[in-house]
Amino acid sequence: MEWNNKFNYPKSSRSIINGSRHYALDDSHLPSVTTILKATQSEEDRAGIAAWKERVGHKEAERIKNEASNRGSSMHLYIEQFLLGKFNLDLLEENNKSKKMATEIIDNGLKNKLSEIWGAEAIVYYPGKYAGTADCIGIYEEKETILDFKQSNKPKKEKYIEDYFLQIGAYSLAHNIVYNSKITQGVILLCTVDGLFQDFKIEGNELIDFQNKFLDRVEQFYNQLRKKV
C-alpha cells in the first residue's frame, strides 16, 4: 500500500447555513452530500425515523445518535491514522470500541486489498452543485475506487443502506467530473459495535445508476430551495 498524490484535492472551510453543512469552494457555498440526502428524504423514511424517536423517547434517541456520531468520528480518525502510517496497533486499549472497530476494518477490508491511496478524508465537489468528504480514494482490488467507512449498532442489509450507495455515487461522479478519473467501483466497509465486519460493493452500471439517482436528489434539493424563495 503506497501513497500517490496524483490529484490536488482542495482545502475548504465548512459552515452551517440554515442549519445545514456547506463547503466554501471557489467563492461558492456548496451543500454537502449528506445535507442533500437529508433534505430529500422520502416521507416513508421521515416517518420511520419519527416512529423510532417516539418508541425510544426523544432524549434517548438523541443520546444514541450522539454516541454513534462520536464513536464514528473516533473510528474514522484511527483509520485515517492507519492510512497515513501513524496507527500503532500496540497501543490498542482493551476497552476502546472505536479502535477495535477500526482494526476490524483495517484487517478485513484494507490490508492486502488497498494497493494505492490517492487521498484520505479528501474533499471532492461537483462544480456548482455539491461537495463532500470521501473517506478514502485509490486503487482497491486493482480498480479505481471510492471507499466509505461506516459503523453501526447492528448488522446492515443491503436494501437498507441505499443512502450509503448514493454517497458513493455522489463522490465518484464528482471525482470523475473534476479530475477526469475512471472510478468504476464503490466499497463500503462497515463494523458493528460487537465487532462484526461487513463489506458492500457497487460497480459498473450499478454505480452509474446510483450516480444518476443522486443527481435526481440534487435537482430535487435545488427545486425545494427555489420554492422557499
Residue with cell 486499549: 93
- Determine contact, residues 6/137, Cβ cutoff 8 Å: no
pLDDT of residue 18: 77
CB distance 196 to 149 below 8 Å: no
For the chain, the first-to-last Cα distance in angstroms comes to: 49
- Phi, psi of 98, deg, nearest 5: -60, -45
Taking a C-beta distance cutoff of 8 angstroms, is the pair 213, 166 a contact?
yes
Cβ neighbours of residue 48 closer than 8 Å, sequence gap 6 or more:
none
pLDDT at 73: 85
* Domains defined for the chain, CATH in brackets: 2-88+96-228 (3.90.320)
Whose CA is closest to 132, among 148, 117, 108? 148
Cα–Cα distance between 37 and 46 in angstroms, integer?
A: 12
Q: What is this structure's pTM? A: 0.90
Half-sphere exposure of 221 (CA within 13 A, CB side): 21
Per-residue model confidence as pLDDT tens for the chain (229 residues): 899 999 999 987 777 777 788 998 877 889 999 999 999 987 777 777 778 778 878 788 788 778 887 887 889 999 999 999 886 655 555 568 888 999 999 999 999 999 999 999 999 999 999 999 999 999 999 999 999 999 998 999 998 899 999 999 999 999 999 999 999 999 999 999 999 999 999 999 999 999 999 999 999 999 998 887 6
Confidence (pLDDT) at 220: 95
Asked if 36 and 221 count as a contact pair (C-beta separation under 8 A), the reply is: yes
SS3 content of the chain, % helix, strand, coil (to 5): 50, 30, 25
**What pLDDT was estimated at residue 87?**
65
pLDDT at position 130, please?
96
In terms of Cα–Cα distance, which of 182, 183, 189, 128 is closest to 164? Answer: 189
Quick one: cell of 60?
434517548
User: Do the beta carbons of residue 112 and residue 200 sit within 8 Å?
Assistant: no
Is residue 101 classed as helix, strand or coil in its secondary structure? helix
